[in-house]
Structure 1
Amino acid sequence: DNIKNGLEECDGTDGVGSNQECQMCVLVNLPYCGDGIKNGSEDCDGADGTPEHYSCTLECILEYIPYCGDQTINQAEEECDGDAPENCVMQNGYNGTKTCGSDCLWGACQPVEFCGDQTVNGPEICEIGDTQACDPGGGYNGNQSCAGDCSGWGPCVPTEYCGDGILNDKEQCDGQAGLIDHHICTADCTLQYVPYCGDNTINQGSEQCDGDEPQICTTVDGYSGTQACAESCLWGNCLSNDYCGDNEKNGLEQCDGTDGVGANQSCTMCVLL
């Protein structure tokens, strides 16, 4: 009769409120957005159907709430979000990587290159263990090693030097190496001639002669002769082909045979009588 009476909760529209209907005079609540129950086409309703990091709108639609850790940079205070590292350059010039912290801010740049990694990179000139040839001066070869901080080459260290016993470029000798007869090797690795008896040159105070050339001499008997240079570089005996009895007056002779003999004279033992 559409009039709520007796024990009726409703009748027709009488006694029926919002989001209700009357069935057999009994009130039945109808689902609606805001009743705290997810139903029908609703994504959510209050807390019902609302997962973490979402809110439920007044229209029962899920709305995402960005947060640090959702793998997406979606808040002004975030520098990063996720596990992917990013390349960076350190103050000393080396390349590095940085990772995203739990606060979605980049951590410190960590080197992936360094002096000693056997690769010349960043500000490096060379790597530890590297060597190269160099010129230490004086015509010798040398070698230099990479400095401990990879910033450049160390001093040039000779690999050759005068006194190493090896005949190197620019040297005439070194110790016994390159030494030739009648020479010595000086402190600066040059050959120096050592005069000796037999070098055909009178170049020592003890030498009277040196060589095969004889010299003219006079014997004690006054004869003209020659003397040869002995192995000791002293003159040998004066030898003459002239003698008393060779029929030639020479030397200290007054006569020899008939040579030098006048009238009424005779020659005995090369002396005129």
Structure 2
Amino acid sequence: MDPDEDCDDGNDRAGDGCEADCRWTCTSTADCDDGVVCNGAETCAGHVCQTGSPVEDGTPCSTAGGADGTCRSGLCAPFACGNGEREGDEACDDGNLSNADDCLADCTAASCGDDFLHDGVEECDTGAPAPCTTSCGSVGTRRCVACAWETACAAPDEVCNGADDDCDDGTDEGFDCIAGTGESCTTPCGTAGTRGCGPDCRPSGDCTPPAETCNGADDDCDDLTDEGFACVPGTVTSCITACGTPGTRNCAADCTLPADCVPPDEICNGEDDDCDGEADEGFGCVAGSVLRCTTSCGSRGVRLCSSGCTVPDACRPPPESCNNLDDDCDTATDNGFECRIYTTGSCTTSCGSTTGTRTCDSHCTWGRCRPRDRETVCDGMDDDCNGTTDDFCPRSITTGLREDGPLWGRTTGGTPFREICPGNEVLIGLDGRGGCAVDGIQPVCGRPVVEEDRSVTPFAYRFRVAAGTSMPYHGGGGGSPFSLRCPADFVAVALAVRGSSTNGITGLRLECNRPTITVHDTETELDPGSSHPLLQFAPSCAPPDEWTSYFDAGDTPWGASGYEDVAALSGIHGRSGTLLDALGGQLVQMVLQP
């Protein structure tokens, strides 16, 4: 581009941003305004005029004759235009908005040069040339003549790009050199280099050296010889032989190293230097090697070959090993180890509570301290080291299997009820009201617990009964209150009633026992224990009914095995109204839990 030019794109196409006179097509929006409202506002972007978007149809405008009109498809048309009838000065009126048919949207006839492409009639309708491909492959132009493209594609002027632009079979003619090519020159290190032609078709100042080749010289002027190759011809390089010793290779004329590494001569160093499969051959022994011999105490000793490849006279005993022998000839066996192989000794267990035993293993180290096989006494210590203290000793009492006894008395009278002590509780008494008969009844519940006495060793255990849940009363309000309650730490184990199907329940009798807890060997048992005199309610009227039933915990087998366990009454069931019509009991196992 010359100093007095705004631009120079090498072609004479109008409207492409750089005009044929090398001036910008536009520099502001005002340069692009055609004064027509309907085709939108033109803008200037990148020195190229950009057409605007047609305004909305119906926008007021002035026709070419100065009359008021309205915009239709980017053209200003008379108000009557578009009704499908030719009127006034209209050349035509086809009633549509198309500008690609015989009649334009402003009711003028389509013609070449109206800036609209007539479908099926015109190839082009513009003053601007179009790009095309020349015969030499460059981008040329062709003009729109009489609304048809010229057949010939005009070649552009030659530019500096390494190509033939003007189709004259010459490249970058008129410039100093062809862009991207080079010419021969001599580098600073004396090799034959090249000087390249830049993208501006001017030769570069430096002579570029060639790539390095295998020739024993510095070709690329980097002060290095034959870099990038394995070696420099004629030089000797170190290498590792097949047997691992330092050897040598001679570089060949083609900068390659031979596959084989030449080993050195054998020396006294305990290694195979010359790769013949033998170490220190030609010497008295292999340096550092071990020669077997018998010591003065009969153990297997060694002689060490010296660094000068000579054999010493003395037989060195081995270190003491774990084998119940004197290996190092010091008259002691397995000394230096924790223990003598396979002996046993006492120890303190990992839980720190008892003394166990340990065995010296085959490595002469003590094995783990083994505690007792199992707990044998309740003493507050983890004797068998299983993480649990006194794991067989009693901790609590729970209830297990249950069994309802029969219902006695007037079994069809009153309303049924069922009062069973909840959870792990059992029956410890009966409260109620009565006169000539039992008017009503209320069960009294207690919770069996284990009491541990740590003031003695082994610990002592006792059966205790804690307060239980309050239960509801069933029956009438007649008679006087009575209370049949077992002594402290006793539980009810048997129930007997007087009554008949006519009179209902007329008498009650309750038997109580105090179970005991027995600890022996590795087991604990809950035994029935001692009994207490019977508790009973007798009617105030005579003669009373006979005792009609007896429900006893001691006679009840539990489960499929029929195993007899310690049991107690756990509640009552029956029927009541104004009197106690019928009554029965329920039994439950008492199970001692560790």
TM-score in terms of structure 1 length: 0.27
Choose between structure 1 and 2: higher strand proportion.
2
TM-score in terms of structure 2 length: 0.14
